[in-house]
């Protein structure tokens, strides 16, 4: 377990959104200063939308920023379940490069994962930032229990993304996914988690305590992570 897990508590989601957006802006500026470009992975879902709305107003050289989703549902672009569609609506108008890692829906989720990994291999690595969410069940990105769980956690070190079939399928989005691998996540230069609600806080705290044998995906992802992890939380 990373010795460097730090909790940042806020009064409400709006205060958290402003703080996290400020931190991401700083990380992007530092990456652009250092090597002329930034590559970041952003999570889907509803929690980060206020963060992205504030971040999009930042005066950044957006043309130098590449954004990939931490995970994607295998659905057509434009579908309500598509994470990259949500991210693109906010950041494409700013001039950022938003990379769809699932260019088209396919029945072969493993092939979708291989194709996403090939796209990721072309990016500057490691990521400058990975922003994760956590589900009430403890999943993060699309690292879910199921037949591909071990592969996502401990597949080849060079693999950055893979296709996964959650089992059981989440009722709100009952589709196969492509996700960053644990290795792709924990090699990022900065790792942040943004969550709201006491339930998720309880899950994350339990997962951290359990360490490498955690029953929760987020516990397994964070176990033995060597980089500092900032967990931003609002009620």
Provide the whole-model pTM: 0.97
The better pLDDT of the pair 224, 74 is held by 74
Instruction: Indicate the pLDDT class of residue 3, thresholds 50, 70 and 90.
Output: low
Sign of CA dihedral 86, 8, 230, 66: positive
pLDDT (tens digit, 9 = 90+) per residue, 117-129?
999 999 999 999 9
78-87, Cβ contacts within 8 angstroms, sequence gap of 24 or more: 79/105, 81/173, 81/175, 83/43, 83/44, 83/45, 86/44, 86/49, 87/42, 87/44, 87/52
**Residue 1: pLDDT over 60:** no
Report the alpha-carbon distance of residue 38 to residue 141 in Å, rounded.
20
**According to the model, what pLDDT value does residue 104 have?**
87
Report the alpha-carbon distance of residue 43 to residue 218 in Å, rounded.
14
| C-alpha distances in Å from residue 27, one per residue of 39, 103, 182, 206 | 10, 28, 21, 29
- CA torsion 176→182→183→185, rounded to 10°? 90
Strand bridging mode 161-164 / 177-180: antiparallel
**According to the model, what pLDDT value does residue 186 have?**
96
**According to the model, what pLDDT value does residue 226 have?**
87
pLDDT (tens digit, 9 = 90+) per residue, 24-43?
999 999 999 999 999 999 99
Return the structure tokens found at 221. 């992802």
**Residue 235: pLDDT over 90:** yes
pLDDT (tens digit, 9 = 90+) per residue, 156-199?
999 999 999 999 999 999 999 999 999 999 999 999 999 999 99
Q: Is 204 left (phi over 0), alpha (psi -120 to 50) or beta?
A: alpha
DSSP 140: B
Read off the pLDDT of each residue in 56-64 and give the average, rounded to a whole number.
Answer: 98
| C-alpha distances in Å from residue 5, one per residue of 8, 27, 89, 129, 195 | 10, 18, 32, 16, 15
**According to the model, what pLDDT value does residue 2 have?**
52
pLDDT (tens digit, 9 = 90+) per residue, 139-148?
999 999 999 9
Q: Are 116 and 145 in contact (CB under 8 A)?
A: no
**According to the model, what pLDDT value does residue 187 have?**
95
Q: Which residue has the tokens 């955690």?
A: 214
- What are the residues whose beta carbons fall under 8 Å from the beta carbon of 136, sequence distance 6 or more? 199, 200, 203
Instruction: Indicate the pLDDT class of residue 103, thresholds 50, 70 and 90.
Output: confident
């Amino acid at each position: 377990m990373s010795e460097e897990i730090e909790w940042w508590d806020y009064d409400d989601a709006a205060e958290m959104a402003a703080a996290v957006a400020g931190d991401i802006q700083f990380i992007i500026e530092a990456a652009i200063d250092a090597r002329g470009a930034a590559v970041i992975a952003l999570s889907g879902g509803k929690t980060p939308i206020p963060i992205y709305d504030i971040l999009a107003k930042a005066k950044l050289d957006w043309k130098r920023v590449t954004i990939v989703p931490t995970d994607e549902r295998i659905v057509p672009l434009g579908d309500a379940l598509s994470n990259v569609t949500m991210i693109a609506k906010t950041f494409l108008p700013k001039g950022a490069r938003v990379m769809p890692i699932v260019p088209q829906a396919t029945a072969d989720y493993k092939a979708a994962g291989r194709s996403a990994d090939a796209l990721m291999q072309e990016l500057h690595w490691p990521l400058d930032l990975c922003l994760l969410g956590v589900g009430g069940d403890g999943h993060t990105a699309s690292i879910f229990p199921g037949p591909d769980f071990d592969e996502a956690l401990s597949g080849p070190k060079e693999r950055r993304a893979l296709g996964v079939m959650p089992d059981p399928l989440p009722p709100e989005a009952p589709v196969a996914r492509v996700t960053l691998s644990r290795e792709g996540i924990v090699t990022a230069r900065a790792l942040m988690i943004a969550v709201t609600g006491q339930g998720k806080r309880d899950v994350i705290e339990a997962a951290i305590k359990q360490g490498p044998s955690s029953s929760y995906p987020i516990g397994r992802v964070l176990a033995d992570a060597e980089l500092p992890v900032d967990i931003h939380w609002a009620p």
